[in-house]
């Protein structure tokens, strides 16, 4: 990582902003966005179980990367 590289500084700031936004979200909202924001058939039956058993940090990181890639 090149600390003095302006592009790297912008990217780091963008990821930090996205991470701050994602950390404020509920786990269910994160999962829905990762799923494309639509309810899929059969998803409602197991969705609460899925929220309860998910590794929150892992899905936070996935969503941050997904949002970051969409901005690049």
Residue 33 has pLDDT above 70, yes or no: yes
Domain boundaries, position 42:
6-71
Q: What is the pLDDT of residue 51?
A: 77
Determine the straight-line distance between the first and last CA of the chain, rounded to whole angstroms. Answer: 17
Length of the chain: 72
Whether 1 maps to a domain, the answer reads no
Please count the structural domains in the chain: 1
Whether 61 maps to a domain, the answer reads yes
pTM: 0.64
pLDDT classification of 5: cutoffs 50, 70, 90 = very low
The answer to whether the CB of 33 falls within 8 A of the CB of 24 is: no
Q: What is the pLDDT of residue 39?
A: 61
pLDDT classification of 41: cutoffs 50, 70, 90 = low
Please tell me what DSSP assigns to residue 41.
Answer: T
């Amino acid at each position: 990582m090149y600390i003095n590289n302006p592009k790297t500084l912008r990217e780091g700031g963008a990821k930090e902003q996205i991470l701050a936004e994602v950390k404020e979200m509920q786990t269910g909202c994160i999962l829905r966005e990762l799923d494309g924001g639509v309810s899929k058939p059969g998803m409602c039956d197991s969705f609460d179980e899925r929220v309860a058993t998910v590794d929150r940090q892992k899905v936070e990181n996935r969503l941050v990367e997904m949002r970051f890639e969409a901005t690049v």
